[in-house]
């Protein structure tokens, strides 16, 4: 039976999940805006109606735009599963200290991943480390949910 207290603002684990989820939503939106700004700065537009001058041509291959787009896609591939599994993990009534630090790890790692991939390009292994910290925490939560379900 599901304890209604688990999905209450009285539950510090749930509150932390909500906070980091909201931060990550804002981060995804910020990366969308950054993609648009990068397109504008590099005059790289994918649609004819977006061209601001008859001299411009539609193009899809600007390396700066593509880097930001890959970072955005990576966010969607990794943050969206966190939203689902994080909430399910809250429902398992985990230890607060562990759960809160897992949520922090995912949030901070995803922010660092974006910074070192799309904003200030830093050589590997910086991006890989950020990626695997978030992935590891999310996989751990998923395994705990699976173990709790059976």
Instruction: Dig out the tokens for 52 from the structure.
Output: 């601001």
Within a domain: 87: yes
Of 53, 77, 70, 92, the C-alpha closest to 135 is 77
Of 49, 44, 47, the C-alpha closest to 68 is 44
Domain count of the fold of the chain: 1
Angle at 14 between CA 8 and CA 16, to 5 degrees: 135
Within a domain: 126: yes
Report how far residue 120's alpha carbon sits from residue 99's, in angstroms, rounded to the nearest whole number. 30
Ranked by mean pLDDT, which of 4-13, 15-24, 118-127 comes out on top? Answer: 15-24
> Taking 90 as the threshold, does the pLDDT of residue 51 lie above it?
no
> Taking 80 as the threshold, does the pLDDT of residue 127 lie above it?
yes
Segment 61-72 shows an average pLDDT of 93
Residue 49 maps to which CATH number? 1.20.120.550
Within a domain: 2: no
Report how far residue 40's alpha carbon sits from residue 42's, in angstroms, rounded to the nearest whole number. 6
Report how far residue 45's alpha carbon sits from residue 59's, in angstroms, rounded to the nearest whole number. 6
The predicted-structure confidence for 89-100, as pLDDT tens digits, reads as follows 999 999 999 999
- pLDDT band with cut points at 50, 70 and 90 for residue 52: confident
Among 46-55, 66-75, 101-110, 136-145, the range scoring the smallest mean pLDDT is 46-55
Note the pTM of the prediction, 2 decimals: 0.90
Within a domain: 1: no
**Conformational region of residue 93, where left means phi above 0, alpha means psi within -120 to 50, and beta covers everything else:** left
Domain range spanning residue 17? 7-149
Within a domain: 27: yes
Within a domain: 122: yes
Within a domain: 14: yes
Report how far residue 128's alpha carbon sits from residue 114's, in angstroms, rounded to the nearest whole number. 11
The predicted-structure confidence for 134-145, as pLDDT tens digits, reads as follows 999 999 999 999
């Amino acid at each position: 039976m599901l304890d209604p207290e688990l999905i209450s603002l009285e539950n510090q684990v749930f509150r932390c999940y909500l906070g980091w989820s909201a931060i990550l939503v804002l981060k995804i939106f910020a990366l969308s805006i950054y993609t648009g700004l990068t397109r504008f700065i590099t005059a790289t537009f994918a649609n004819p109606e977006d061209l601001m001058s008859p001299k411009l041509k539609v193009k899809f291959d600007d390396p700066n735009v593509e880097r930001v787009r890959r970072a955005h896609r990576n966010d969607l591939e990794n943050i969206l599963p966190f939203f689902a599994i994080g909430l399910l993990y809250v429902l398992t009534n985990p230890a607060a200290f562990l759960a809160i630090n897992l949520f922090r790890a995912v949030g901070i790692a995803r922010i660092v991943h974006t910074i070192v991939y799309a904003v200030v390009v830093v050589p590997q292994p910086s991006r890989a480390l950020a990626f695997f910290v978030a992935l590891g925490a999310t996989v751990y939560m998923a395994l705990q949910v699976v173990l709790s379900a059976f």
